[in-house]
Amino acid sequence: MNSKNVVEMNEADAPLDLKWLIQEAKEHNPEIIAAQKRLHAAKAKIPQAKSLDDPNIRIGSFDMSNHPLNINGQTNMLQQRYGVSQKIPFPGKLHLRGEIATEDAHMMEKELQSKIQEILALVKSAFYELSYINTAIDITEEIRGLLRRFAAITQEKYAVGTATQRDVLAAQVELSTLANNIIVLNKESESMVARLNMLLDRPTEAPLGKPRPFEKHSLRLTIKELEDIAIKNRPELKRFDHLIKRSEAEVKLSKKDYYFSDFEPMVEYMQEDKSSDTWASAITINVPWLWPKNRSKVKETKETLKAAKSDYRFINNKTLFEVKDLLVRLQASESTINLYKTGVIPQAEQSLKAARIGYEAGRIDFLTLIDSQRTLLNAKLLYHRALIDFEQNLANLERSTGIQLTQ
């Protein structure tokens, strides 16, 4: 057996830990890595935006003898020229360009944080879903074992003429149904393992162990506290806050580009045959207010700023809705968990026990026993479904608020 197979066996046998999944996702998820690289690229643009354009160097020859191909100086009227020029933006423009690039980097930083929280919410949701599937398989196997004992009792009763063939067939149908349910659940488990592997940038067929049992979290924060946390911490809101600042800087820059000219000073050294060397200097300025494009640029940046403010309001409203909606879902799941844990499941267990005794004594028919068995199975599955829904909604609430709400 090679080392790769040994590693895969160890991974399949070891309990699957949520903390390990989270760490693996942070380190290996391609979307997170891409967001990190975009942040690095945005930071690299800041010094570029703050810097002057490259200077221009000019070297030329000027022949005053009206012989353009004469470059050897036979006419004694050849002039060699060496010049340098540098474009200098109007004061304040470079600062604004640097501010825009800085806000771009801040936006990329918030996008990275948002992407991390998005991926972690997906990882948690998939982990809890896999946990539910494995629990559902165990519960179904347990109920199937119980049903086998009922089927054996039915077979014995049929052999002595106290049960009908219909009861025997009903037991076999129910066993076949449970067997099919287990097959379906195993396929769903394979799909969820593939989903987790995708999020961790692993081969979809890579083995993962069964999820480690977890304790249900609790949440004691009020809606007002959650809303305040979300408005203060959600990366998407902070991203649009930086977008507004960026747009404000763009408006200021567009106005400077429209009202104030840039400069391009130039110095030139001229060397003439049999004459004294001379110097020349000049300055070039652009005339931005002459054509309508710069006026249109000002209008464009103002509209972009308005759009950014509207986007911020939308994300703000969406955040408040998500917090309210997810809190309501958490409360509903909490109620269901308590109801099934303290009421429905114990009652269903007692009902099944009574039905079994009654069937063995011949006081009730087999279909009533089967109904009691189904009720217990569904009660246990619904309890664990509510438990998983609670954890998944909590993971989504943490994404909406921007922070981890539980330990």
Please report the DSSP string for 137-186 in residue order: HHHHHHHHHHHHHHHHHHHHHHHTTSS-HHHHHHHHHHHHHHHHHHHHHH
Instruction: Assess whether pLDDT exceeds 70 at residue 173.
Output: yes
- What is the CATH number that goes with domain 3-52+90-244+312-401? 1.20.1600.10
Name the token pair of 213: 């049992």
**Across-strand partners of 337?**
none
Radius of gyration of the chain (CA): 37
Q: What is the DSSP letter of 261?
A: -
**For residue 151, which amino acid is it?**
A
**CB 104 within 8 Å of CB 42:** yes
Instruction: Assess whether pLDDT exceeds 50 at residue 6.
Output: no
Q: Taking Cα atoms as reference points, which of 285, 276, 278, 277 lies closest to residue 85?
A: 285
pLDDT, position 289: 77
**CB 63 within 8 Å of CB 74:** no
Q: Taking Cα atoms as reference points, which of 17, 235, 25 lies closest to residue 123?
A: 25
- Annotated domain spans of the chain: 3-52+90-244+312-401
pLDDT, position 338: 96
Q: Read off the pLDDT of each residue in 146-153 and give the average, rounded to a whole number.
A: 89
Dihedral of alpha carbons 92, 95, 101, 103, sign: negative
pLDDT, position 165: 87
Q: Taking Cα atoms as reference points, which of 129, 127, 125, 121 lies closest to residue 26?
A: 121
Who's near 353: CB < 8 A, 6+ residues apart?
none
pLDDT, position 153: 87
Instruction: Assess whether pLDDT exceeds 60 at residue 74.
Output: no
**CB 191 within 8 Å of CB 153:** no
**CB 250 within 8 Å of CB 294:** no
Instruction: Assess whether pLDDT exceeds 60 at residue 9.
Output: no
**Across-strand partners of 85?**
56, 266
pLDDT, position 64: 63
Give the torsion through C-alpha atoms of 131, 132, 134, 135, to 10 deg.
Answer: 110
* Residue pointed to by tokens 């998983």: 388
* Residue 333 half-sphere exposure toward CB, CA atoms < 13 A: 21
Q: In this predicted model, what pLDDT tens digit does every residue of 133-148 receive, in sequence order?
A: 999 999 999 999 989 9
Q: In this predicted model, what pLDDT tens digit does every residue of 178-220 receive, in sequence order?
A: 999 999 999 999 999 999 999 999 999 999 999 999 999 999 9
Phi/psi for 361 (5° steps) reads -85, -5
pLDDT, position 66: 60
Percent of the chain past pLDDT 70, that is, above it, reads 92
More confident: 363 or 105: 105
Q: What is the DSSP letter of 340?
A: I
**Across-strand partners of 58?**
83
Q: Order of strands across the sheet with 78-85? A: 56-63, 78-85, 263-272, 278-285
At residue 293's C-alpha, the angle toward residues 108 and 291, to 5°, is 150
Instruction: Assess whether pLDDT exceeds 60 at residue 72.
Output: no
Integer angstrom CA distances of residue 354 from 357, 359, 378 = 5, 9, 18
Instruction: Assess whether pLDDT exceeds 90 at residue 78.
Output: no
Q: Residue 404's CB: how many other CB atoms inside 10 A? A: 11
Mean pLDDT, rounded, of the chain: 90
Instruction: Assess whether pLDDT exceeds 90 at residue 161.
Output: no
Q: In this predicted model, what pLDDT tens digit does every residue of 105-115 receive, in sequence order?
A: 999 999 999 99
Instruction: Assess whether pLDDT exceeds 70 at residue 32.
Output: yes
Q: Read off the pLDDT of each residue in 221-228 and give the average, rounded to a whole number.
A: 96
Cα(283)–Cα(299) distance, integer angstroms: 30
Instruction: Assess whether pLDDT exceeds 50 at residue 5.
Output: no
Q: Taking Cα atoms as reference points, which of 109, 89, 96, 94 lies closest to residue 42?
A: 109
pLDDT, position 12: 60
Q: Read off the pLDDT of each residue in 149-160 and give the average, rounded to a whole number.
A: 87
Q: pLDDT-based confidence at 60, cuts 50/70/90?
A: confident
Instruction: Assess whether pLDDT exceeds 80 at residue 234.
Output: yes
More confident: 115 or 78: 115
- Length reported for the chain: 407
Integer angstrom CA distances of residue 157 from 149, 150, 152 = 12, 10, 9
Integer angstrom CA distances of residue 259 from 166, 247, 262, 285, 287 = 94, 18, 10, 12, 9
Instruction: Assess whether pLDDT exceeds 80 at residue 39.
Output: yes
Q: pLDDT-based confidence at 3, cuts 50/70/90?
A: very low
Strand pairing class (278-285; 263-272): antiparallel
Percent of the chain past pLDDT 90, that is, above it, reads 73
Instruction: Assess whether pLDDT exceeds 90 at residue 156.
Output: no
Phi/psi for 270 (5° steps) reads -120, 130
**CB 317 within 8 Å of CB 325:** no
**CB 390 within 8 Å of CB 330:** yes
Phi/psi for 163 (5° steps) reads -135, 155
